[in-house]
Amino acid sequence: MSRDMSYSAVMGRRNEIMKEAVGIDYAKFESNGVIFDYEKMMRETGYSLQEMQKIQGETGVGNTPIYELRNLTLLARKLAPKGKGARIFIKDEAANPSGSFKARRAATSVYHAKKHGYKGVIAATSGNYGAAVASQAAMKGLNCIIVQECYDSKGKGQPEIVEKARKCEAYGAEVLQLSVGPELFYTFLKLLEETGYFNASLYTPFGIAGVETLGYELAMQFREREGRDPDVVVATNAGGGNVTGTARGLIKAGAEKVQVVGASVNLKGLHMASDEQFNKKSFTTGHTGFGIPFATWPDRSDVPRSAGRPLRYLDRYVTVNQGEVFYITETLAQLEGLERGPAGNTSLAAAFSIAQELDEDKIIVVQETEYTGAGKHINPQLSFAKENGIEIMTGNPEDEIPGQNIILPKHPSLIKAKDLDLNRIRKSYIKNCVENNKGIQLDDEDIKFLAEDTKSSVQFVYEVLKELGE
């Protein structure tokens, strides 16, 4: 008898399909309450740091260089109060085979798929991860399917997403491009079930553990180069895996005192699942449309429990505007001779601002860069924005309204990272946890877990629960 492939039937088999496609029995880590044993999941289903370094080394991933941005540092010091202006560095992850840090996540996932006899891998992504999975699959001789949310209902596709499709196809992957909406996850599940391929999800322990090498490597490189750890590490935040993996790697290196800052492009007011608004944004990743939802409820991902849990590790979370990122992208090219893509430059814009708060002897690091290409470049992105009715202007980025205009700073002093209230985000996470676990009476262990998962305190969790009437 043929299986029921209707939307409701496939979604109803979600957990069964996922278990088969990932090879992880998530039930082993669950409890009767809201707790799941996060560290046990990471320990028992991932790989050791040394194993990950070996796996990544086999395909030329990792050991990327660090550059000091001396000219950007000088510019920051000109704008900063006397004695302020930290040294700005970047870790150049564009040196990885597929051109981004996502190669670290993909290397571990594809290795695991090959080891366990899967014939191919599938990833649902419109970003750099698709290219990374396709690249690693080619090296390991596995088939690869990338599912993209690419077009609106008029058939218009973001130049950055179309660019990444070309890159995936260049590596031999099959790319399925879908319109915005719920069909993405449905199609993804159907393909997993029909092919029996491995789910190379961004949110498995394999993927997150792959990024741990980045944080570890970064700490070791600074100890060798500067004789100490950096003071601040800024990571672009979307689904949370970049922050999570980097922070865990820093901790494994013994660099617990390094401040971890997340940075996202401010797209407040734009809904990522809206057909009308899909092409009103000029950033397809690293923005608040992913950063906030995944911080406030990480288990919305394509696996039962996400290994990317940014609130566990964030010390600070800031936003920058679209125009500021475009500006710093051009500045990086013209002052430092480095042309890099928009995702890493989100954290660079934030770092340029934060550096002006810090003393001159401090070190701030942007922990990743990405390649740039035909569709990821500033010009096609701004041209596409104009075609979609977005006004491009020069002025004060504070006046930027996502979906209406992009304001390029008329002066670099106008680049200002804005802090988000982490406690407010923590409260939203706890609220979502309660709403998604209705009928469960929280005990002391549940409260302790929530405190750990939000990097807060037991007292803070109790206070939030009291506000919620729990």
What's the whole-number mean pLDDT along residues 243-267? 98
Alpha-carbon distance of 38 to 450, in angstroms, equals 12
Given pLDDT bands bounded at 50, 70 and 90, which one contains residue 285?
Answer: confident
Give burial (CB, 10 Å; 0-12/13-18/19+) of 113.
Answer: buried
> Between these two residues, 323 and 304, which has the higher pLDDT value?
323
Strand ranges for 203-314 from DSSP E: 232-236, 259-265
> Between these two residues, 18 and 84, which has the higher pLDDT value?
84
Distances in Å between the Cα of 69 and the Cα atoms of 60, 91, 372, 373 are: 25, 11, 18, 22
Angle at the Cα of 111 (from 105 to 115), degrees rounded to 5? 150
Give burial (CB, 10 Å; 0-12/13-18/19+) of 127.
Answer: buried
H or E segment and range at residue 91: strand 87-91
DSSP-H helix ranges across 302-377: 322-336, 342-355
Alpha-carbon distance of 338 to 340, in angstroms, equals 6
**pLDDT given for residue 181 in this prediction:** 77
**pLDDT given for residue 1 in this prediction:** 52
Question: CB under 8 Å, gap of 24 or more: what pairs does 378-386 form?
Answer: 378/326, 378/329, 378/330, 380/159, 381/159, 381/160, 381/282, 381/326, 381/342, 382/282, 382/326, 382/406, 383/159, 384/158, 384/159, 384/279, 384/282, 385/282
Distances in Å between the Cα of 129 and the Cα atoms of 52, 290, 323, 466 are: 18, 15, 24, 41
Residue 376, pLDDT above cutoff 90: no
Q: How far apart are the first and last CA of the chain?
A: 48
pLDDT in tens, 317-334: 999 999 999 999 999 999
Alpha-carbon distance of 202 to 407, in angstroms, equals 32
Location of structure tokens 């991860």: 129
pLDDT in tens, 76-100: 999 999 999 999 999 999 999 999 9
Residue 36, pLDDT above cutoff 80: yes
Q: Which two tokens stand for residue 90?
A: 């970047």
> Between these two residues, 60 and 10, which has the higher pLDDT value?
60
Residue 28, pLDDT above cutoff 60: yes
How much of the chain exceeds pLDDT 70, in percent?
100
What's the whole-number mean pLDDT along residues 39-68? 94
Location of structure tokens 């998604």: 436
Instruction: Report how far Cα 462 is from the mean position of its chain's Cα atoms.
Output: 30
Asked, colleague to colleague, whether 7-55+100-202 and 59-98+206-419 share their fold, the answer is: yes
Q: Is residue 208 a contact partner of residue 244, using CB atoms and an 8 Å limit?
A: yes
Given pLDDT bands bounded at 50, 70 and 90, which one contains residue 47?
Answer: confident
What's the whole-number mean pLDDT along residues 157-162? 89
What's the whole-number mean pLDDT along residues 98-123? 96
- Structurally, at CATH architecture level, domain 59-98+206-419 sits in 3-Layer(aba) Sandwich (3.40)
Alpha-carbon distance of 302 to 52, in angstroms, equals 23
Alpha-carbon distance of 24 to 42, in angstroms, equals 11
Residue 449, pLDDT above cutoff 70: yes
Given pLDDT bands bounded at 50, 70 and 90, which one contains residue 434?
Answer: very high
Q: Is residue 241 a contact partner of residue 208, using CB atoms and an 8 Å limit?
A: yes
> Which neighbouring-strand residues pair with 198?
121
Q: Which CATH number fits domain 7-55+100-202: 3.90.380.10, 3.40.50.1100, 1.10.3720.10, 3.30.1220.10?
A: 3.40.50.1100
Residue 45, pLDDT above cutoff 80: no
Residue 32, pLDDT above cutoff 70: yes
**pLDDT given for residue 182 in this prediction:** 75
Angle at the Cα of 146 (from 143 to 150), degrees rounded to 5? 160
Distances in Å between the Cα of 191 and the Cα atoms of 105, 115, 147, 194 are: 21, 21, 9, 5
Residue 251, pLDDT above cutoff 70: yes
Average pLDDT score, the chain:
94
Distances in Å between the Cα of 67 and the Cα atoms of 74, 90, 151, 214, 302 are: 15, 5, 37, 15, 35
Given pLDDT bands bounded at 50, 70 and 90, which one contains residue 14?
Answer: confident
Instruction: Of 24, 22, 32, give the one whose Cα is nearest residue 443.
Output: 32
User: Which sign, positive or negative, has the C-alpha torsion 26, 27, 33, 36?
Assistant: negative
Residues in the chain: 470
DSSP secondary structure string, 56-87? HHHTT-----EEE-HHHHHHHHHHSPTTB--E
Sequence ranges of the domains in the chain: 7-55+100-202, 59-98+206-419, 422-467
Phi and psi at residue 457, to the nearest 5°: -145, 160
